[in-house]
Structure 1
Amino acid sequence: MDIDCLPIAKTGYFSKLICDYIAKDAKLKPLYNRFPDVEGFKGQLEEKGKHFSQVQRNVLHASMLKQYKNTDTSEGTATNIELLKEKNTFTIVTGHQLNLFTGPLYFLYKIISTINLTTQLKKEYPNSNFVPVYWMATEDHDFDEINYFNFKGLKFQWNKEASGAVGHLTTEGLDEVFTLFAKSIGDSKNANVLKQLFEEAYLKHNNLTDATRYLANEIFKDYGLVIVDGDDIDLKKSLVPYMKKDIFEQTAFDKVSETIKEIEQISTDYPVQVNPREINYFYLKEGIRERFIESKGAFVVNDTNISFTKEELIDEMDTHPERFSPNVIARPLYQEVILPNLCYIGGGGEIAYWLELKTAFEALNVPFPILLVRNSALIISGKQADKLERMNISKSDIFLKQNSLINKKIREISNIDIDFSPQKKLLEEQFKEMYALAERTDKSFIGAVKAQEVKQKKGLDALEKRLLQAQKKKLKDHVVRMTELQNEIFPNQSLQERQSNFSVFYLEYGEDLVPMLFNALEPLNLSFTVITQD
C-alpha cells in the first residue's frame, strides 16, 4: 500500500471556507474556539472538564447501558461505556444519517477518523481517557436522502412511504433490496460476508435505528466505538432548559443570525450553510416530525392541528421532553450538553454550519468544541495505478476537471507544439512598437491598434483550439482510455467517497479493508489521502 497526501485546496472538491479554515486563515479565528491540533486539545480538556458534572456523566452512563441492553457489546465498547462515569474521560464525536447499508464510503472515514484521534490523544494525554462516539441521526426526517446506496453504477433503493423520524421506520420492504443486492454481488467469500451483514442488520431488526446500530457495531465494535441515539427521554431532560431559551427567548436565532452577517462581511465566497429559525425544534410523535411556529401567541406544530399556549408548551417540555426534536442548529448544542465532548469530526458542509454556532454556545455557557474536517480519501487499485503510470498521469493530475486533464495530457503527448504562447508573446512585442508609434504621431490611433491586437490574439486562440481538437481526434484512443479511467476513479465525476458504497471495496479487499483504512487515515493531517494498492 502506497499513501500520498495532497493539499485539500488542490483537489478542487472543497469550498473556499473549508480550505481557508484548514489553512488557519486569521479572519476565521472568531468563528471557532481552538484549532484541531495537539496543542489545541490541552485547553479544550481543561475547559470541558470544568463544565461537565458528575451528574451529567451518570445520566449519560445510565442511558448508554439501556441503549446497549440488546446489543452484542464488545469488551472495548463496554469498557468505554464504563469509562464515561470517570471525570477524566472525554469523547470525540462524529455523526451521520441512518443511510441504507452505510450509504457513501465516507461513513467509514468519519468513524475511523474519530477512533484514530482518540488513540492519538491517549498517547499525547495519557492521564485522560478518550471515547470514540458515533451519533446516529435517528430523528432526521429526510427519508429520500438515506433510502439508497450506490454499487458499481447501480442504485439500490428502498421504496417505502415514510414520514416522521427515520429511526422509527420499520424495516419492512428491505427484503426486496436484499434480494436484488445479493444477486448483484455474486457468491465469493467476501460477497457472502456482505450478504450476511445486510441480512442480520436489516432483516432481523424491526426498525432503522436498531438496524443501523447493529451494522455500525459489527463493523467497529473491536475498536471500542460507542453509538449514541439522541432520541432518548433521559438524555433530553438535560436539554429542556436550552429548549426554553431557544423557543421563548430566541437565543440561537439572534446569535446565529449575527454570526451569519459577520461571515458575509468576511467574504462573499463563503455561502451561508444553514439559516436559523425563530424556533429550532420540531414536535416529534409517531409519524410526525414538524417544526414549531409561533403564531398569535400560540405555538403551532406546522401542517397539523396541534397547538399549545406558552404554559401548555412548558408543561409538555417538562413532561415529555422526548417529543422535542432539535433541528440542524440546535442538535449540535444537544450533543455538547449531554456528552463530555472535546471535538466534532464532520465533512466540509457540516463544519461550515458549525462555524455559525460559536456565539450561540457562548450565550448559553456551553463550551464550543474543536472542529475537525474528517479524513477524505481516494482508493486506487493496483490495476488502476498501472494504467495511470502507463499514461503518465500523476496523482494530482487525476483530480483535474476532465476537460482540463485531457487538454493537459494531449499537449504533453502530442508530437507537435499546441501551445501558442511564444507566438502571442511575439505579437505583443510587435504591437508595443505600434503603440509607441501611435503615441508619437496620432494618439487617437491607439484604440485602433488595441482592437487589432485583440483580434489577432483571438485568432491565435481559435487556431490553438482547432489544433488541439484535431489532435484529440488523432489521439482518440488515448482520450477514451483517460476518460474511462477517470470516470472509474471518480464516479459521476465526483469524489469516490461521496458516491460509492463500502461494499464495492469490501468485495475486493474483504476483512483487510477496515484495517487498511485505519492505517492510512491520520485525523490531524489535514490533507487529502490517496491510497494506492499494490
Structure 2
Amino acid sequence: MEVECIPFKETGYFSRLICDYLDQKETLSPFYNRYPKPENFGDQIKEKAANYPKSNRSVLVGSLIEQYKGVNVSKETQKNIDSLGSENTFTVVTGHQLNLFTGPLYFLYKIVSTINLAKRLNKQHPDQHVVPIYWMASEDHDFDEINYFNLHGKKVLWNKKATGAVGRLPTDGLDEVFEIFASELGNLGLTDRLKDLFKEAYLGHATLTEATRYLANSLFGEEGLVIVDGDDKELKKLLVPYAKTDILDHTPFEEISGTINKLSKLSTDYNIQVNPREINYFYLKDGLRERIVLKKGKYHVINTHIDFTEEELLDELEAYPERFSPNVVARPLYQEVILPNLCYIGGGGELAYWLELKAYFEKVGVTFPMLMLRNSVLLITEKQSEKVEKMGLTVSHLFMKQHSLINKKIRDISNIDIDFSPQKKLLEEQFQQMYALAEKTDKSFLGAVKAQEVKQKKGLDNLEKRLLRAQKRKLKDHVVRLTDLQNALFPNRSLQERQLNFSEIYLEMGDDMIPLLLETLDPFSQDFTILKH
C-alpha cells in the first residue's frame, strides 16, 4: 500500500474559507475556540470538564442504554457507553445523514477520522478516556438527499413518498431495493457479505434509524463507536432552556447574523453556508416536521393548522420536548449540551457553518468544540496507478479541471510548441515602442495602438486554441485514455468520495478495506490522502 498526499488547497475542491482555516489565518481566529493541534486538547479538556454538568452524564448514559436495547453491542462499545458516566470521559463526534446503505464513501472517512482521533487522544491523555461518537441525523426531513446510493454508475433508489423525520420512516419497500441491489452485484466474489449486510440492516429493522444504527454498528462496533440518536425525549429535556432562548429571545438569530456580517467583511470569497432564522426549531410528530414561526402574535407551525400562544408553546415544550426539533443552526448546540464533547469532525461545508456559531455558544454559556476537517481519500488501484505513470503524469495532475489536464498533456506530448507565450511577450515589447512613439507624436493615437495590440493578442490566442484542437484530433488516443482514467477516478467530474458507495470499493478490497483506512488515515493530517491499493 502506497500513500501519497496533496495539500487540501492544491486540490481545487475546497473553499477559500476552509483553506484559510487550515492555514490558521489570523483573521479567522475569533471564529473558533482552539485549532485542533494535539497540544491544544489538554486545555479543551479542562474547559469542557468545568462547563459540563455531571447530571447530564447520567441522562446521556440512560438514553444510550435504551437506544442500544436489542442491538448486538461489542465489548468496546459497551465499555465506552459505561465510561460516559465518569467525569474523566469525553467524546469526539462526527455526524451524518441516514443515507441509504451509507450513501457516499465519505461516510466511512468521517467515522474513521473520529475513531482514529479518539485513539490518538487516549494515548496522549492516559488519565482521560475519549469516546468516538457517530451522531445520526435522524430528524432531518430531506428524504430526497438520502434515499439512494450509486453503484457501478447507476443510482440504486428507494422510491417512496415520505414526510417528516427520515429516522422514523418505516423500511417498507426496501425489499424491492434489495432485489435491484442484489441483481446489480451479481453472484461473484465478495457479493454475499454485502447482500447479507443490506438485508439484515434494512429488511430486519422497522425504521431507518434502527437500520442505520445496525449498519454503522456492524461496520465499526469493534472499534468502540457509540451511535447517538438525538430524537430522544430524555436528551431533549436538556435542550429545553436553550430552545426557550431561541424561540422567545431569538438569541441565535442575533448572534449568528452578527458573525455572518463579520465573516462577509473579511472576504467576498467566504460563502455563507447557512443563515439563521428568528426561530430555529421545527415541530415534530410522526409524518410531520415543519418550521415554527411567529405569525400574528401566535406561534404557528407552517403547512398545518397548529397554533400556540406563548404560554401554550412553553407548556408544550416542557411536557413534550421530543416534539421540538432543532434545525441546522440549533442542532450543533444540542449536541454540545448533551455530550462531554471536545471536537467535531466534519467536511468543509459543515465546518463552514460551525464557524458561524461561536458567538452564539458564548452567549448561552456552552463550550465551543474544536473543529477538525475530516480525512479525504482517493482510492486508486495498482493498475490505474501504472496508467498514470505511463502517461508521464502524477495522480495530483488528475485533480485538475479536465480541459486543463488535456491541454497540459497535449502540450507535453506534442512534437511542436503550442505555447505562444514567447510570441505574446515579443508582441508586447513591439507595442511598447509604438506607445512611446505615440506619446512623442500624437497622444490621440494611443487608443488605436491599444486596439491593435488587443486584436493581435486575440489573434495569437485563437491560433493557439486552433493548434491545440488540431493536436487533440491528431493525438485522440492519448486524450481518450486520459479522460477515461480521470472519469473513472473522478466520476461525474467530482471527488470519488462524494459519488461512489463503499460497496463498490469493498468488491475490490474486501474485509481489508476498513482496517486499511483505520491504519492509514491520520486525523491531524492537513492533506488529501491518495491510497494506492
What TM-score do you get using the length of structure 1 for normalisation? 0.99
Where do residues 88-487 of structure 1 align in structure 2 (5 Å cutoff)? 88-487=88-487
Q: What is the alpha-carbon distance in structure 2 between the residues aligned to residue 127 and residue 256 of structure 1?
A: 36
SS at 2:69 equivalent: coil
Give the deviation of 1:263 after TM superposition. Answer: 1.0
Q: What is the alpha-carbon distance in structure 2 between the residues aligned to residue 448 and residue 276 of structure 1?
A: 54
Give the deviation of 1:270 after TM superposition. Answer: 0.9
Structure 2 counterpart of 1:141, one-letter code:
H
What TM-score do you get using the length of structure 2 for normalisation? 0.99
Structure 2 counterpart of 1:273, one-letter code:
Q
SS at 1:69 equivalent: coil
- Can you list the C-alpha shifts for 1:460-493, whole angstroms capped at 9, x where unaligned? 1111111111000000011011111100000000
Q: What is the alpha-carbon distance in structure 1 between the residues aligned to residue 432 and residue 248 of structure 2?
A: 70
Give the deviation of 1:448 after TM superposition. Answer: 2.2
Q: What is the alpha-carbon distance in structure 2 between the residues aligned to residue 482 and residue 259 of structure 1?
A: 45
Give the deviation of 1:447 after TM superposition. Answer: 2.4
Q: What is the alpha-carbon distance in structure 2 between the residues aligned to residue 292 and residue 447 of structure 1?
A: 62
Give the deviation of 1:425 after TM superposition. Answer: 1.6
Which position in structure 2 is the counterpart of 1:506? 506
C-alpha contact 1:520 1:529 (8 A) present in aligned 2: no
SS at 2:395 equivalent: coil
SS at 1:231 equivalent: coil
Q: What is the alpha-carbon distance in structure 2 between the residues aligned to residue 446 and residue 348 of structure 1?
A: 49
Q: What is the alpha-carbon distance in structure 1 between the residues aligned to residue 435 and residue 334 of structure 2?
A: 68
C-alpha contact 1:150 1:501 (8 A) present in aligned 2: yes
- Can you list the C-alpha shifts for 1:357-405, whole angstroms capped at 9, x where unaligned? 1111001000000011111110011111111111112121100000000
Give the deviation of 1:311 after TM superposition. Answer: 1.0
Structure 2 counterpart of 1:347, one-letter code:
G
- Can you list the C-alpha shifts for 1:276-297, whole angstroms capped at 9, x where unaligned? 1111111111111111011122
The number of residues matched between the two structures is: 533
SS at 2:114 equivalent: helix
Q: Select between 230-239 and 431-440 the one with higher mean Cα deviation.
A: 431-440
Q: What is the alpha-carbon distance in structure 1 between the residues aligned to residue 139 and residue 401 of structure 2?
A: 37
Instruction: Find runs of 4+ consecutive structure 1 residues off by over 4 angstroms.
Output: none
Q: What is the alpha-carbon distance in structure 1 between the residues aligned to residue 439 and residue 261 of structure 2?
A: 50
Which position in structure 2 is the counterpart of 1:37? 37
SS at 1:269 equivalent: coil
C-alpha contact 1:122 1:128 (8 A) present in aligned 2: yes
Which position in structure 2 is the counterpart of 1:2? 2
Q: What is the alpha-carbon distance in structure 2 between the residues aligned to residue 181 and residue 52 of structure 1?
A: 45
Give the deviation of 1:427 after TM superposition. Answer: 1.6
Q: What is the alpha-carbon distance in structure 2 between the residues aligned to residue 305 and residue 428 of structure 1?
A: 71
| Coordinate RMSD, CA, aligned | 0.9
Q: What is the alpha-carbon distance in structure 1 between the residues aligned to residue 508 and residue 462 of structure 2?
A: 47
Q: What is the alpha-carbon distance in structure 2 between the residues aligned to residue 83 and residue 249 of structure 1?
A: 37
- Can you list the C-alpha shifts for 1:306-326, whole angstroms capped at 9, x where unaligned? 111111111111111111110
Give the deviation of 1:189 after TM superposition. Answer: 4.1
Q: What is the alpha-carbon distance in structure 2 between the residues aligned to residue 131 and residue 519 of structure 1?
A: 18
Which position in structure 2 is the counterpart of 1:11? 11
Give the deviation of 1:41 after TM superposition. Answer: 1.1
- Can you list the C-alpha shifts for 1:410-455, whole angstroms capped at 9, x where unaligned? 0000011111111112222222222222233333322222222222
SS at 1:293 equivalent: strand
Q: What is the alpha-carbon distance in structure 2 between the residues aligned to residue 108 and residue 479 of structure 1?
A: 33
Q: What is the alpha-carbon distance in structure 2 between the residues aligned to residue 235 and residue 85 of structure 1?
A: 15
- Can you list the C-alpha shifts for 1:76-96, whole angstroms capped at 9, x where unaligned? 000000110111110000000
Q: What is the alpha-carbon distance in structure 1 between the residues aligned to residue 512 and residue 331 of structure 2?
A: 35
Q: What is the alpha-carbon distance in structure 2 between the residues aligned to residue 391 and residue 210 of structure 1?
A: 48
Unmatched runs of 5 consecutive residues or more in structure 1: none
